[in-house]
Structure 1
Amino acid sequence: MSDLQSALLLPKQLAQLNKNPVEGFSAGLIDDDEIYRWQVLIIGPPETLNEGRFFKAHLLFPKEYPLQPPRMKFVTEIWHPNIERNGDVRISILHEPGDDKWGYEQASERWLPVQTVQTILISVISMLADPNDESPANVDAAKEWRENYMDFKRKVARCVRKSQEECI
């Protein structure tokens, strides 16, 4: 797929999201002249530790999209087993297509060109509600999630308060 094709597909996906918004997130361009860089606002899922929290993140699309996945990075501070300390999201749906060389993931769990921004963000919201501590990007958060949930909960609450203060 050429750069031109991805440059045509991304505006269509953005228009579709704006025409038919999905509860829990919104998306737009970081810069109106750059279709490959999006900013998203995710609302913490109800009845989770992140309820009431607003997360800012960036989706950075390669020119080879949709054959290759975008990269997602949280700008808002977050303490989560599947998000690196620098904000990079590490979930199967954003891993390069094909077989996992380590044998942990099936190809069907990884990036497929049929995925859209909507399916990515729904997966991220699901991940926020239900972390996968078996394949952590942040080992310390995963260990705390499993072994000292009260400390984990306190760190998440601190991040929630901080994000709410930033919105005021």
Structure 2
Amino acid sequence: MSASPSGNTLLLKRQLQELRKHPVDGFSAGLKDESNLYEWEIMIIGPNDTLYEGGFLRAELIFPPEYPLLPPKMKFLTKMWHPNIYDDGTVCISILHAPGADQYGYEDAGERWMPVHSVESILLSVISLLSSDKPNTDSPANVDAAKQVREDFPGYKKKVRRLVRESAEEAY
């Protein structure tokens, strides 16, 4: 890292300090390595009254050098089964898509990444995604999970609950 911190490292440092001073219910965030502001460890506590209740969902946020002009990438390290989360754990939500028009026409430019978004707004969006009673299957990242939501919702719920139980066991 260069001797003089750039604007984005100052912004990331400020967001981290803010989250440490005023933790938000439902998640914790910290650096993977204190010398690198671009890689964060995230722990999301499964929201109450959802399929994820009782889960300890580990994830990472990787910020590009162009942050906040471009969004970070978020990836679950905990095994997830959700239409909007790729098999490798990468989260696919509008707020994490680069600014501009959606070439497929699913998203409004206003739903996509904007530099005003913060780590907190990203994580609250992800928690909201996990809290949804019925996941969005319109443009799925995980086609098999979306298919199961549509064709076998009880089976989908059972699989999610099993993964959540495993995440809680790993945490202890």
* Fold in common (TM above 0.5): yes
Deviation string, structure 1 residues 82-129 (Cα, Å, up to 9, x no partner): 100100000000000011111111100000010000000000000011
Q: For residues 8 and 51 of structure 1, what CA distance do their matches in structure 2 show?
A: 35
Which ranges of structure 2 fall in alignment gaps of 5 or more residues? none
Deviates more, 1:131-140 or 1:112-121: 131-140
- What is the one-letter code of the residue matched to 1:134? D
- Show the counterpart of 2:126: 124
Asked if structure 1 preserves the Cα contact closer than 8 Å seen for 2:54 and 2:165, the reply is: no
- Show the counterpart of 1:26: 28
- Show the counterpart of 1:41: 43
- Show the counterpart of 1:166: 170
- Show the counterpart of 1:99: 101
- Show the counterpart of 2:145: 141
Q: For residues 100 and 139 of structure 1, what CA distance do their matches in structure 2 show?
A: 20
Q: CA deviation at 1:145?
A: 1.0
1:66-85 to structure 2, matched below 5 A, reads 66-85=68-87
Out of 93, 112, 115, which is 1:113 matched to?
115
Asked if structure 1 preserves the Cα contact closer than 8 Å seen for 2:81 and 2:145, the reply is: yes
**Deviant stretches of 4+, over 6 Å:** none
Q: What is the number of equivalent residue pairs in this alignment?
A: 166
TM score, norm. by length of structure 2: 0.94
- Show the counterpart of 1:60: 62
Asked if structure 1 preserves the Cα contact closer than 8 Å seen for 2:39 and 2:63, the reply is: yes
Q: For residues 55 and 153 of structure 1, what CA distance do their matches in structure 2 show?
A: 16
- What is the one-letter code of the residue matched to 1:31? D
Percent identity (aligned): 57
**Tell me, what secondary structure is at the counterpart of 1:58?**
strand
Q: CA deviation at 1:79?
A: 0.6
- What is the one-letter code of the residue matched to 1:151? G
Which ranges of structure 1 fall in alignment gaps of 5 or more residues? none
Out of 4, 7, 14, which is 1:5 matched to?
7
**Tell me, what secondary structure is at the counterpart of 2:157?**
helix
- What is the one-letter code of the residue matched to 2:44? I
Q: CA deviation at 1:153?
A: 1.1
Q: For residues 135 and 122 of structure 1, what CA distance do their matches in structure 2 show?
A: 21
**Tell me, what secondary structure is at the counterpart of 1:142?**
helix
Q: CA deviation at 1:160?
A: 1.2
Q: For residues 102 and 129 of structure 1, what CA distance do their matches in structure 2 show?
A: 26
